[in-house]
Amino acid sequence: MRIIPAIDIIEGKCVRLSKGDYDTKKIYNENPLEVAKSFEEHGIQYLHLVDLDGAKSSRIVNYKVLEQIASKTSLKIDFGGGLKSDSDLKIAFESGANQITGGSIAIKQPKVFKKWIQQYGADKIILGADAMNEKVAISGWLEESKEEVIPFIQNYQKEGIQYVICTDISKDGMLEGPSFELYKRILDSDLSNRAESRLKLIASGGISTFNELPKLAELGCEGTIIGKAIYEGRITLKQLENYIVNK
């Protein structure tokens, strides 16, 4: 299972929120590049970079941070937040993103999102299926849609999507443990019966202790995004380094 630390950006700074609430913002570092380099120094190869200003304003905002991290580290970055147009996507990839994550656009402009899957390929486009009460949440989690999360994922699997990041918003930033049950049901509902196109589910939200990681791997999660647990010292970079080396 891939270990994917998260850096969330507001006004160019590394922050974390609780349950996606912008009023709970806590700044952990003024320099996201410094944070990214510390991940890289511990053998981490992947990064989940979220433009929270972009998510709120429905257009890419913090692409300079992406550009800086991509050019000064070798981390493979998936980038999300506010990607709503072809030009946003172009900026993200030109700034160094390896993959992009689309959530709101997959609900609000499905034709555009499906076109991206066709144009860039399923290895470049991640479906963001963030859920509150198992309904997909959009616009930086400020809105709840009527879409149920599992049928939503299945519909996009039919369009070729393989990578899915699922965050249970009620767990995000709360350090109370991830949604094992929800992830199990998502993986059990995988429409693919071929190994090469099997759903690559990336767990996100609520990770609080190192011991939860092997459980997520056992469930079949392809990756896990870890945020606040790292910043609050619940999981150390050394533990993650050892996990990566020994897996």
Catalytic residues: 8, 130
3-state secondary structure the chain: CEEEEEEEEECCEEEEEECCEEEEEEEEECCHHHHHHHHHHCCCCEEEEEEHHHHHHCCCCCHHHHHHHHHHCCCEEEEECCCCCHHHHHHHHHCCCCEEEECHHHHHCHHHHHHHHHHHCCCCEEEECCEECCEEEECCCCEEEEEEHHHHHHHHHCCCCCEEEEEECCCCCCCCCCCHHHHHHHHHCCCCCCHHHCCEEEEECCCCCCCHHHHHHHHCCCEEEECHHHHCCCCCHHHHHHHHHHC
Q: Look at the chain and count its residues.
A: 247
Instruction: Output 35-38 pairs: Cβ under 8 A, ≥24 positions apart.
Output: 35/7, 36/7, 36/69, 36/72, 36/73, 36/75, 37/72, 37/73, 38/237
**Residue found by looking up tokens 């030109």 in the block:** 94
Contact 195, 40 (CB under 8 A): no
